[in-house]
C-alpha cells in the first residue's frame, strides 16, 4: 500500500466508527418454496424470526413472497408488506433485483440460459427481455422508497464475460465497448434511483462483467462515478478468485452499502485450481459453504467494516453444496450475532490521558 493511502486509510478508520452493524438478517431467495413455511412472506418471516433473525432481504423476483408491480404503484400494499414483517418480528433490509439486473445486459452466448429468468412473454426476444428487466429494476426503486428503505442489491449483467480469458486474442476495444454499453444501459436506471433517494449495491460476482475490483473501477469510470452505484460486499466470491477480500474493503469501503455474509473454501490440488475443471459444486476446488464451515475470516471482516463505519445490515446468503439450508439458516443467525461489534465510545487508554497543556507540549518537543 502506498504511504499516502496508508495514512488516509488510518485516518478514515479512526474517524468513521459510529453505529454498529445491524443483524443478523437473512436473504430469503434460497429458502422460498412451494411448501410451508417457505411459501408466503408471513410464514417465512415468522420462521426466520424464530431462528433469531432480525431482518430479511426480499427477492423481488419471487411472486410467492412479493409483488413488485403492485409495490411500485401502491403505498397501501407496501405498508401491508411492512406490517407483515413487523408483526413477524423482522425488518426489511433491502429489496433484491439480482435476476432482473442480470437481464439488463446479456451476451448472446447466454441468451438461452438466462431466458429462464424472464417471463414467458419475452423469452426468445432479447430486446423485449431487456426492456422488461430495466422496467423491473426501476420499479424496485419506487417500491424501496415506498417501503422507507434506501438501499437495494442487484447484478450488473454481462456482455464481456465470455471473453474473460484472453485467448483467442480479444480485438482492440472490445472490453472498452462492453463497459461503455453496460454504462449506457445502467445510467438511466441509476439516475432514476438517485432521483428517488435510492442506490444499488451490485454484487461483485463471476459471471457478471463486474466481478472484481478492477472491473468495478472500469464500470464506475464508465458511469462517471455515479453516486447511486454501490457495492454489495460478498467475500465468498473474492476468496474463490484468491483475492485479498480485506484489502478490497480498504479500497472501496465508501461504496459498500450492503453485506452478504457467505462463506467459501478453496482447496487447489494437482487437478484443479480457480477454474475448477467444470466439476459439480461438491467436487470443485472452490465451493460455497455454510457459515463457519469455510475459510473466510469473518472476524477480520466485521472488524474492518465496523472501523470504516459500515452501519447497515449483515445478511446471510446461504449457499452450501453439503449442508441443508435449514441447518445453514439455523446456524447462521448465532454466527452473525457473535460477530457483531458493540462499537466503543472511548479509547482504551483514556484512563491515562490528560488535558492539553501547550506549555507541556512545547517542553516535551524542546521548543
Helix-helix angle 245-252:213-222, to 10 degrees: 20
Instruction: Decide if pLDDT at 18 tops 70.
Output: no
Q: Is the pLDDT of residue 16 over 70?
A: no
Nearest residue to 213 via CA among 241, 185, 192? 241
pLDDT of residue 15: 52
What average pLDDT does the segment 133-148 reach? Answer: 98
Kindly report the average pLDDT of the chain as a whole number.
Answer: 94
Question: In this structure, how many other beta carbons lie within 10 angstroms of the beta carbon of residue 283?
Answer: 13
* DSSP sequence for 190-256: HHHHHHTT-EEEEE--BTBS--SHHHHHHHHHHTTT-TTEEEEE-HHHHHHTT--HHHHHHHHGGGE
| Cβ neighbours, 10 Å, residue 280 | 9
Q: What percent of the chain has pLDDT over 90?
A: 91
In this predicted structure, what is the pLDDT of residue 208? 98
Closest CA to 94 of 44, 55, 138: 55
Establish how many alpha carbons lie within 13 A of residue 127's alpha carbon, considering only the half-sphere containing its beta carbon: 0
Cell numbers 436506471 correspond to: 189
**C-alpha cell of residue 304:** 474492518
What does DSSP assign to residue 99?
A: H
Q: How far apart are the first and last CA of the chain?
A: 34
Q: What is the predicted pLDDT for the residue at 6?
A: 45
**How does residue 3 score in pLDDT terms, banded at 50, 70 and 90?**
very low
| Residue that wins the pLDDT comparison between 316 and 344 | 316
Can you tell me whether residue 296 is helix, strand or coil? coil
The answer to whether residue 172 scores a pLDDT higher than 90 is yes
Which has more pLDDT, 17 or 48?
48
| Per-residue model confidence (pLDDT) at position 233 | 98
pLDDT value at position 10? 47
Average pLDDT of span 166-187 = 98
Q: How far is C-alpha 21 from the geometric centre of its chain's CA atoms? A: 14
**Model pLDDT for residues 208-255, shown as the tens digit of each residue:** 999 999 999 999 999 999 999 999 999 999 999 999 999 999 999 999
- Residue 59: pLDDT band (50, 70, 90) is very high
Model confidence pLDDT, tens digit, residues 317-352? 999 999 999 999 999 999 999 999 998 777 767 766
Average pLDDT over residues 268-292: 97
pLDDT at 19: 78
Give the three-state DSSP class for 96: strand
Neighbours of 367 (CB within 10 A): 8
Distance (Å, whole) CA 94 – CA 246: 24
User: pLDDT exceeding 70 applies to what percent of the chain?
Assistant: 94
> How many C-alpha atoms does 60 have within 13 Å on its Cβ side?
30
With 90 as the cut, is the pLDDT of residue 63 above it? yes
Question: Hey, what domains does the chain have and what are their CATH numbers?
Answer: 3-364 (3.20.20.150)
**Which cell goes with 203?**
454484487
Statement: residue 355 has pLDDT above 90: no
Residue 134 has pLDDT above 50, yes or no: yes
Q: What pLDDT was estimated at residue 58?
A: 98
Tell me what pLDDT residue 344 has. Answer: 78
Amino acid at each position: 500500500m502506498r504511504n499516502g493511502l496508508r495514512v488516509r486509510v488510518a485516518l478514515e478508520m479512526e474517524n468513521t466508527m459510529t453505529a454498529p452493524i445491524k443483524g443478523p438478517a437473512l436473504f430469503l431467495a434460497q429458502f422460498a418454496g412451494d411448501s410451508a413455511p417457505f411459501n408466503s412472506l408471513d410464514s417465512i418471516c415468522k420462521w426466520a424470526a424464530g431462528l433469531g433473525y432480525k431482518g430479511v432481504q426480499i427477492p423481488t423476483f419471487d411472486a410467492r413472497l412479493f409483488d413488485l408491480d403492485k409495490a411500485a404503484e401502491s403505498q397501501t400494499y407496501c405498508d401491508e408488506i411492512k406490517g407483515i414483517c413487523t408483526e413477524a418480528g423482522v425488518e426489511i433490509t433491502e429489496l433484491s433485483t439480482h435476476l432482473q439486473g442480470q437481464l439488463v445486459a446479456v451476451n448472446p452466448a447466454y441468451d438461452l440460459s438466462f431466458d429462464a429468468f424472464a417471463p414467458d412473454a419475452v423469452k426468445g426476444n432479447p430486446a423485449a427481455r431487456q426492456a422488461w428487466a430495466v422496467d423491473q429494476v426501476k420499479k424496485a426503486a419506487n417500491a424501496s422508497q415506498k417501503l422507507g428503505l434506501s438501499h437495494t442489491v442487484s447484478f450488473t449483467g454481462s456482455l464481456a464475460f465470455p471473453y474473460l480469458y484472453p485467448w483467442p486474442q480479444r480485438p482492440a476495444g472490445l472490453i472498452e465497448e462492453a463497459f461503455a454499453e453496460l454504462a449506457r444501459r445502467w445510467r438511466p436506471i441509476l439516475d432514476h434511483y438517485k432521483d428517488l433517494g435510492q442506490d444499488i449495491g451490485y454484487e461483485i460476482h463471476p459471471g457478471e462483467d463486474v466481478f472484481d475490483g478492477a472491473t468495478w473501477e472500469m464500470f464506475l469510470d464508465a458511469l462517471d462515478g455515479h453516486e447511486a452505484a454501490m457495492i454489495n460486499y460478498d467475500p465468498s466470491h473474492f476468496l474463490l478468485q484468491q483475492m485479498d477480500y480485506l484489502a478490497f474493503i480498504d479500497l472501496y469501503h465508501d461504496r459498500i452499502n450492503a453485506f452478504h455474509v457467505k462463506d467459501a473454501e478453496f482447496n487447489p490440488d494437482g487437478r484443479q485450481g480457480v477454474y475448477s475443471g467444470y466439476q459439480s459444486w461438491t467436487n470443485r476446488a472452490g465451493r460455497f459453504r455454510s457459515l463457519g464451515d469455510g475459510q473466510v475470516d469473518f472476524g477480520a471482516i466485521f472488524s474492518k467494516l465496523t472501523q470504516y463505519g459500515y452501519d447497515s445490515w449483515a445478511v446471510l446468503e446461504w449457499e452450501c453444496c453439503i449442508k441443508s439450508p435449514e441447518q445453514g439458516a439455523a446456524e447462521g443467525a448465532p454466527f452473525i450475532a457473535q460477530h457483531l461489534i458493540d462499537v466503543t465510545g472511548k479509547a482504551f487508554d483514556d484512563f491515562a490521558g490528560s488535558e492539553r497543556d501547550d506549555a507541556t507540549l512545547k517542553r516535551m518537543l524542546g521548543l
